[in-house]
Every structure is written in C-alpha cells, then in structure tokens.
C-alpha cells in the first residue's frame, strides 16, 4: 500500500461529495415526483433488456432505541417496537405500488437493510418484512443479502434467525472501541460483545462480515485510535469501512450534543487516517478505495482486482451497475436514467401511501451531460482509470474537446502525482487512489458551478 505524504494530506483537507451517485442527491428537485418515477418503473417493465437485468433492493428502517450523537442518518428514536408493525404495513403498501408499475417477480441479486437500526425489528417483524419482499420479488441464489447491525440489539440466537432468513452479509457498527469515546458519543458497547458476535456469525456461515469505524470523534487521539485499530485487526473482519466524522451541528441536531472542544484537530485526524492505512496494510488488507478495506479473498477485493467495482447509494459494490429500488421513508433509488427519493418524515410517507400514491417527493431525470459525466466519474471512482475511446464511442463526443477545462485541472493533479495522463486516457496513481474524490470532483459540473462545498464531508 502506498505511503501518503503529510503534505498531500494537508493539501487535500477539503470537502467534497462521496459520489454514491452523480449528480449527487443535493441536486434532486421537487419537480421530479411520483408520476415521473412511476413512468421510469413502467419503462423498465416494458423493456425486455431492463427486465432481464437483476435489481438491487434497499429498505430503510428508521427506528433506533437510543441516539448516537454523531449520527447524520434519518432516524426515529423510540423504544416502542409496536411502531415498526405500522411501518411494515405501509412498506407492504409501497411494495404493492412499486410492483404494480414494475411487474411482479423481478429478479433481485442484492438486498441491503439500512437505517436507523434494522435490527430494531424483532424476529417476527423481520420474518414479516422478508415475506413481503419474497412475495413480490424473486431472490437469486448466490446474491448479496446484507443487513446493518447495532451489536447492542442482537445475540447469537438473532444471528441464527438472520441466517435462516437468507442474509449472508453482516455489517457491525463499532465506530470505536475506546470507552471514553463511546461515552462521548452515547454508544457504549464493550469490545467483548462485538468479538463474541463476530465469532458467532462466523460459526453460522455468513460469507462476509464488515465493521464500521469512524475517526475524528470526540475524545479520540491518534494513540487511542491505535488501540482500536489493534483490536479490529485482531478481530479480522472481512471488510472494514473507515469513515471520517463530519461535524455539521447546524445540519444534524444530534451533533449539537458533542462538545466541539473535545473533537480532535485536523492534524490529529490526518494522523489517525495515515496510521489506519499503515495498520490495515500490515494486517494484509487491500485498500479498495474511499474508506473501504477488505481481505484479499473477500468479494470486494476480488472485484477491485478484476476491475469489476461499482458504486451505489450504499457505497462500493460487486454487483453490476443495475437499477436500485428503494423502499421506506427517505430511501433513495435509481431506475434507468432517473434518481428518486421518498418522503423524509413518517407522517408525509404515510400520507402519500394512504392516498394510494408512491411516496416519491423529489428526484432527477438525468440529462445527456449528466449521464456522460456519471460514466467518467464512476470509471475513476471504481476502476481508477478510463480510456477516452470508450467514452467517445458510447457518448459520441471528442473527450479532450468536451472536457477541455477539466483536462487543464487534471494537469495540475498530474503535477502533484495523483493522476497520469496519456494520449489514450486517465489513470489514477497509487497515491491518487486515496484522493480519488478530488479527482472525480474535477468532472462535477454542478460542484464547479456553485463552489459551496461546506455541506459535504472532508475527502480525507
């Protein structure tokens, strides 16, 4: 793994999108609504080629029993598990509306339950949810079926239920093992608990186990995070997602409970990132890109090695670049050349469904320029390279003429060693892979136009 210089870390201590989509979700408009999304679903249903492509499904479960102060997700804090029964009834209505437009029995090769806390649902509720999905969609054997887990909400028996329901991938939210950090973010979970759950998951045959970590949290120091890194590498999950904490209390109310004085400064955050790279490299992990590490035999590392990485709203994926149907409050999906997002509050989500309408409240129909730039950005983010000819043939443009200004900006990045430019294409260097968001930002027409980047997280 390439060593990242402190100078580059300082130079690229800037904000930018994560590019789980292009254009990014902040560009969605209310002019795109339920009827537009229904038309996109119907077009997919009417096209034999689209119907033959497997779908991804995302289901958003918004409920959490307790508040984590760092959280920027759309969630509802409650201990009343009966609320999930009502939510599942409405999810059933939404699924029926989706199927009415898209057709029943479409093949699904990827399912992800996110939140919130998906394991807020009890065993009976999880069984009910999977029954709703299986009655309407056809799940292919060997697909990727994953669920996010709060370790405080599961035990070995619950893991057995998840395996029985067909989940084969788990993601444990750890964030940090240090007790002082856990107290500062209101998420106390002993390391022994996580170790026990991971052992139990392995014994039940789950194919891939991910652990989420966050650096830049209150009370963290490079030395304390070193100890967490030692524990995580000893735990040896198949994948690690390492995120930089973005402190935006003006946007996310829970973060106002974090004392700004307790946050590590920029140099400490950079040290944590740099030392994380070294720790995972020494432990044999592959840097997949943009926060993701994986053991060499994991499907994500294999996809990176073989040039088959893709990105969707959950991050890097091994699945082909396919349509994503998103279910639940605030969920974001992609069908054809459109993006869509559901209502962000339960009240509005339920109201749409009570009226027999899909709960889509905003989205975007992509222009030809959007599609072209998406292809460029995703090639850089996923493969780390692109050939001018492939883009030119697919979109009937002269690449260097169309992107003349962008090529000038890339020349500056080439001087800094982040990319290599040739007559035939662009290649992200080993060092540049750690700053690939900065490379992709060059081609973001919307970002270059408004320059207001403070709403995005730091790219490092």
Answer yes or no: is 185 within a domain: yes
Answer yes or no: is 410 within a domain: yes
Answer yes or no: is 388 within a domain: yes
* Residue 449: predicted pLDDT: 74
pLDDT, tens digit, 9 for 90 and up, residues 31-44: 999 999 999 999 88
Last residue of a domain, one of 267, 302, 326: 326
**Side-chain-facing half-sphere of 7: CA atoms under 13 Å:** 3
Residues 293, 27, 321, 116: is their CA dihedral positive or negative?
positive
User: What's the whole-number average pLDDT of the chain?
Assistant: 92
Answer yes or no: is 334 within a domain: no
Question: In terms of C-beta density within 10 A (0-12 exposed, 13-18 middle, 19 or more buried), how is residue 76 classed?
Answer: middle
Report, as an integer, the average pLDDT of 394-413: 96
Say yes or no: 30 and 8 in one domain: no
pTM of the entire structure? 0.92
Percentage of the residues of the chain whose pLDDT score is greater than 70: 95
Are the beta carbons of 385 and 428 closer than 8 angstroms? yes
Percentage of the residues of the chain whose pLDDT score is greater than 90: 79
Q: How far apart are CA 459 and CA 456, in angstroms?
A: 9
* Residue 48: predicted pLDDT: 54
Q: How confident is the model at residue 266 (pLDDT cuts 50, 70, 90)?
A: confident
Answer yes or no: is 424 within a domain: yes
* DSSP 8-state secondary structure symbol assigned to residue 13: -
Range picked from 222-231, 260-269, 319-328, 410-419 for highest mean pLDDT: 222-231
Percent of the chain that is helix, strand, coil (3-state, to 5) = 45, 20, 35
Say yes or no: 10 and 55 in one domain: no
Answer yes or no: is 351 within a domain: no
* Residue 332: predicted pLDDT: 96
Residue of 241 and 15 predicted with greater confidence? 241
- pLDDT beyond 70 at 49: no
Range picked from 349-353, 429-433, 438-442 for highest mean pLDDT: 349-353
Say yes or no: 15 and 25 in one domain: no
Task: State which residues form the domain around 244.
Answer: 21-326
Q: Cα dist. 46→39, 63, 162, 243, 411 in Å?
A: 10, 36, 35, 40, 45
Report, as an integer, the average pLDDT of 133-143: 94
- pLDDT beyond 80 at 202: yes
Answer yes or no: is 362 within a domain: no
* Residue 20: predicted pLDDT: 85
* Residue 10: predicted pLDDT: 72
Q: How far apart are CA 378 and CA 385, in angstroms?
A: 10
Say yes or no: 10 and 45 in one domain: no
Q: Cα dist. 17→25, 180, 208, 377, 459 in Å?
A: 10, 30, 27, 11, 8
**Side-chain-facing half-sphere of 314: CA atoms under 13 Å:** 27
* Residue 290: predicted pLDDT: 79
pLDDT, tens digit, 9 for 90 and up, residues 98-114: 999 999 999 999 999 99
Say yes or no: 73 and 159 in one domain: yes
- pLDDT beyond 70 at 306: yes
Are the beta carbons of 302 and 41 closer than 8 angstroms? no
Say yes or no: 289 and 376 in one domain: no
pLDDT, tens digit, 9 for 90 and up, residues 347-379: 999 999 999 999 999 999 999 999 999 999 999
Q: What is the CATH number of the domain that holds 449?
A: 1.10.10.920
Say yes or no: 302 and 417 in one domain: no
């Amino acid at each position: 793994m390439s060593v990242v210089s402190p100078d580059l870390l300082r130079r690229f201590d800037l904000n930018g999108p994560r590019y789980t989509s292009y254009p990014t979700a902040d560009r969605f408009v209310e002019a795109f609504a339920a009827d537009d999304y229904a038309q996109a679903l119907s077009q997919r249903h009417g096209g034999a080629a689209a119907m033959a492509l497997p779908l991804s499904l995302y289901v958003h479960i918004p409920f959490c029993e307790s508040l984590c102060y760092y959280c920027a997700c759309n969630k509802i804090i409650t201990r009343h598990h009966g609320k999930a029964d009502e939510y599942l009834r409405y999810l059933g209505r939404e699924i029926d509306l989706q199927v009415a437009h898209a057709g029943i029995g479409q093949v699904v090769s990827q399912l992800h339950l996110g939140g919130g806390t998906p394991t807020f649902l009890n065993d009976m509720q999880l069984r009910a949810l999977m029954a709703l999905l299986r009655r309407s969609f056809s799940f292919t054997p060997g697909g990727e079926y994953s669920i996010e887990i709060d370790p405080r909400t599961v035990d070995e028996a619950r893991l057995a239920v998840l395996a029985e329901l067909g989940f084969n991938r788990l993601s444990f939210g750890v964030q940090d093992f240090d007790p002082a950090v856990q107290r500062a973010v209101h998420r106390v979970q002993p390391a022994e608990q996580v170790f026990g759950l991971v052992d139990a998951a392995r014994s039940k045959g789950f194919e891939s186990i991910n652990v989420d970590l966050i650096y830049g949290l209150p009370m963290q120091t490079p030395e304390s995070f070193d100890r967490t890194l030692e524990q995580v590498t000893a735990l040896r999950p198949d994948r690690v997602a390492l995120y930089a904490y973005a402190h935006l209390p003006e946007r996310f109310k829970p973060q106002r409970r974090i004392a700004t004085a307790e946050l590590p400064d920029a140099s400490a955050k950079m040290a944590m990132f740099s030392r994380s790279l070294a720790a995972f490299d020494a432990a044999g992990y592959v840097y997949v890109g943009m926060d993701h590490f994986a053991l060499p035999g994991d499907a994500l590392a294999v996809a990176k090695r073989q040039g088959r990485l893709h990105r969707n709203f959950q991050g890097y994926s091994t699945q082909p670049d396919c349509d994503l149907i998103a279910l639940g409050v605030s969920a974001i999906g992609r069908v054809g050349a459109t993006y869509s997002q559901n209502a962000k509050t339960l009240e509005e989500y339920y109201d749409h469904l009570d009226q027999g309408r899909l709960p889509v409240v905003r989205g975007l129909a992509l222009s030809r320029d959007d599609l072209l730039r998406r292809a460029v950005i995703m090639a850089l983010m996923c493969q780390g390279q692109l050939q001018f000819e492939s883009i030119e043939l697919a979109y009937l443009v002269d690449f260097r003429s169309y992107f003349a200004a962008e090529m000038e900006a890339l020349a500056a990045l080439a001087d800094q060693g982040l990319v290599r430019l040739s007559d035939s294409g662009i290649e992200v260097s080993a060092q540049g892979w750690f700053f690939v968001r900065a490379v992709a930002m060059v081609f973001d027409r919307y970002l270059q136009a408004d320059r207001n980047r403070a709403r995005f997280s730091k790219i490092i």
